[in-house]
Amino acid sequence: MSQPNRVSGVSAERLGVYDAIRLRRDVRAEYTGEPIDDDTLWRILDAAHRAPSVGNSQPWDFVVVREAATLRRFADHVAGKRTEFAAALPAERAATFAPIKIEGIVESGTGVVVTHDDRRGGPQVLGRASVPETGVYSTVLAIQNLWLAATAERIGVGWVSFYDPEFLSELVGLPAGIRPVAWLCVGPVREFQQVPDLERFGWRARRSLDEAVHRETFGG
């Protein structure tokens, strides 16, 4: 790949896994406005659905949202949550936060609400007895599969978590016991940024791998 950060100008073939990991970004501002085509969307949902899961419980579901009115309603709700968050920040952080876009709900044209059902797999989920969170870890792995597969297709994904779960549950008609884990904005992009937005805008930088890797004990 001659221009690893650009979508245009690269070959049409899908990226390998390390390329996709390096290219992946949380996308907010770079959606083209064109909707993702159904075949591509199905391939990335298939990638999500192949994720590992505790006890093979497969506790996820995917609600694909494309109705303009629903996208607008969710975007308005998220705008309200953003205002609440900004109001709670000290002045200096509020100024840093102000130019940061936190969603591309309408522009992406497609939302994928990833949900979690803790009852999936029955009362004895093999492997979940000691660590109950392994259920939701599984759903998050499906999200990561989706994110990387989308990147390999040059499709952008942006994870939105500025919402009240009750609002989103009602918006997409989730039955009792099924909870939303993420709203993912999914759509074609002009380019992938090389540096995460939060780093570019001075909110928080990436840590080095040296800092994250420990030998034998955490203090080691």
Ligand X SMILES: Cc1cc2nc3c(=O)[nH]c(=O)nc-3n(C[C@H](O)[C@H](O)[C@H](O)COP(=O)(O)O)c2cc1C
The contact set with ligand X (CB under 6 A) reads: 25-26, 28, 102-103, 159-162, 196, 198
- The C-alpha atoms of residue 220 and residue 218 are separated, in whole angstroms, by 5
Query: Which of 55/112 has CB closer to ligand X?
Result: 112
Encoded tokens for 67? 């109705």
Query: Which of 21/64 has CB closer to ligand X?
Result: 21
Q: In this structure, are residues 153 and 20 in contact, taking their beta carbons and an 8 Å threshold?
A: no
- The C-alpha atoms of residue 56 and residue 54 are separated, in whole angstroms, by 5
Closest distance to ligand X from the beta carbon of 4 (Å): 14
| Residue 55 neighbours by CB distance under 10 Å | 18
Closest distance to ligand X from the beta carbon of 197 (Å): 6
Query: Which of 55/163 has CB closer to ligand X?
Result: 163
Please give the residue whose beta carbon sits closest to ligand X in the complex.
Answer: 196
Closest distance to ligand X from the beta carbon of 26 (Å): 3
Q: In this structure, are residues 57 and 133 in contact, taking their beta carbons and an 8 Å threshold?
A: no
Query: Which of 55/158 has CB closer to ligand X?
Result: 158
Closest distance to ligand X from the beta carbon of 194 (Å): 10
Closest distance to ligand X from the beta carbon of 38 (Å): 26
Closest distance to ligand X from the beta carbon of 39 (Å): 25
Q: What 3-state DSSP class applies to 131?
A: coil
Partners of residue 184 on adjacent β-strands: 112, 159
- The C-alpha atoms of residue 13 and residue 153 are separated, in whole angstroms, by 8
DSSP at 159:
E
Query: Which of 28/120 has CB closer to ligand X?
Result: 28
Query: Which of 87/176 has CB closer to ligand X?
Result: 87
- The C-alpha atoms of residue 75 and residue 105 are separated, in whole angstroms, by 6
Smallest CA-to-CA distance from 7 within 34, 26, 32 is with 32
